[in-house]
Amino acid sequence: MGDSSPIKVVFCGDSSTGKTSVLLNYINGSAPKSTKPTIAAAFFTREVKIHERLFDLVLWDTAGQETYRGLAPMYYRGSALAFLLFDVTSRKTFENLGDWIQSIRSEAGDKTIISIVGNKIDIEDLREIDTFQAQDYATNEHCLYFETSAITGHGIDRMMQISLEELATSFIPEDKPTPVPIAITENPQKNGGCC
Ligand SMILES: Nc1nc2c(ncn2[C@@H]2O[C@H](COP(=O)(O)OP(=O)(O)OP(=O)(O)O)[C@@H](O)[C@H]2O)c(=O)[nH]1
Ligand SMILES: [Mg+2]
């Protein structure tokens, strides 16, 4: 168990961008072949070591479907880190990022780190948003940018590692003089939940 309050991390973005798949890949090491749209939200917990201190992450997987959009802000409150997904093969999901960012910032505040994630890079032939365009957009919005595939697992550990390191330096009070790389613990706990 971590020695301080759990850190709230939220996954958000349009429906079908791959939030559940990316999160399950992070937790289990692989994503299921098919998924159903998330209803309301679900959460998972995982313990990580940052700057030699243990922290409990509570990872919220929110529903992107329009029906549940009104609930999303509830999950942003108190979040230290938000992964905002779009689908690189769907321009529409990229164009909607601005609305998501506005909603996250108005509920969670300006200190929340937002990592924009272009998912589904395994379907390169159908790509509609190129890396430079997305990276530029993220930089202008003061967000981090990553590309992932929940199917191959590409980029997911890097996305988590760099985002958590950023969190460690900007959000968690420093009480150790020398930063060290985070180590993600084995045997993650999985607590599916719904509210
Ligand atoms: N090719 C490919 N398909 C993916 C990837 N990630 C997710 N998918 C597929 O995209 C579909 C939607 O994935 P989900 O993970 O359910 O998407 P979601 O963002 O959680 O959707 P909501 O829960 O409705 O908000 C599923 O058929 C997944 O298998 C990916 O990286 N590559
Ligand atoms: Mg989902």
Indicate the pTM of the whole model: 0.88
Give the integer Cα–Cα distance in Å for 11 and 20. Answer: 8
CATH number at residue 72: 3.40.50.300
- Ligand 1 in contact with 125 (CB < 6 A)? no
Average pLDDT over every residue of 65-74: 87
Residue 114 has pLDDT above 50, yes or no: yes
175 vs 62, higher pLDDT: 62
Which amino acid residue places its CA nearest to atom 29 of ligand 1?
34
Residue 180 falls inside a structural domain: no
Residue 80 has pLDDT above 50, yes or no: yes
Confidence of residue 151 (pLDDT cuts 50, 70, 90): very high
- The predicted structure's pLDDT at residue 189: 47
Domain ranges, residue 84: 5-170
Length of the chain: 195
Which amino acid residue places its CA nearest to atom 8 of ligand 1?
18
Residue 180 has pLDDT above 90, yes or no: no
Which amino acid residue places its CA nearest to atom 11 of ligand 1?
16
Structural domains in the chain (count): 1
Best probe residue, ligand 1, of 10, 11, 14, 20 (max atoms within 8 Å of C-beta): 20
Residue 22 falls inside a structural domain: yes
- The predicted structure's pLDDT at residue 74: 87
Confidence of residue 173 (pLDDT cuts 50, 70, 90): low
Residues 165 and 182: beta-carbon distance below 8 Å: yes
- Report which DSSP code applies to 171: T
Identify which ligand lies nearest to the alpha carbon of 35. Answer: 1
- Ligand 1 in contact with 90 (CB < 6 A)? no
Residue 191 has pLDDT above 80, yes or no: no
- The predicted structure's pLDDT at residue 22: 98
Residue 3 has pLDDT above 90, yes or no: no
- Ligand 1 in contact with 35 (CB < 6 A)? yes
Residue 5 has pLDDT above 80, yes or no: no
Average pLDDT over every residue of 66-85: 91
Query: pLDDT > 70: what percent of the chain?
Result: 85
Residue 145 falls inside a structural domain: yes
Residue 185 falls inside a structural domain: no
- Ligand 1 in contact with 120 (CB < 6 A)? yes
Residue 45 has pLDDT above 70, yes or no: yes
Residue 189 falls inside a structural domain: no
Distance 173 CA to ligand 1 centre (A): 35
Q: Which residues contact 51 (CB under 8 A, 6 or more apart)?
A: 168, 172, 174, 175, 176, 179, 180, 182
Residue 193 falls inside a structural domain: no
Distance 169 CA to ligand 1 centre (A): 31
- The predicted structure's pLDDT at residue 139: 98
Q: How many helices (H) and strands (E) does the chain have?
A: 6, 7
Residue 190 falls inside a structural domain: no
Residue 99 falls inside a structural domain: yes
What backbone phi and psi angles, to 5 degrees, belong to 109? 100, 170
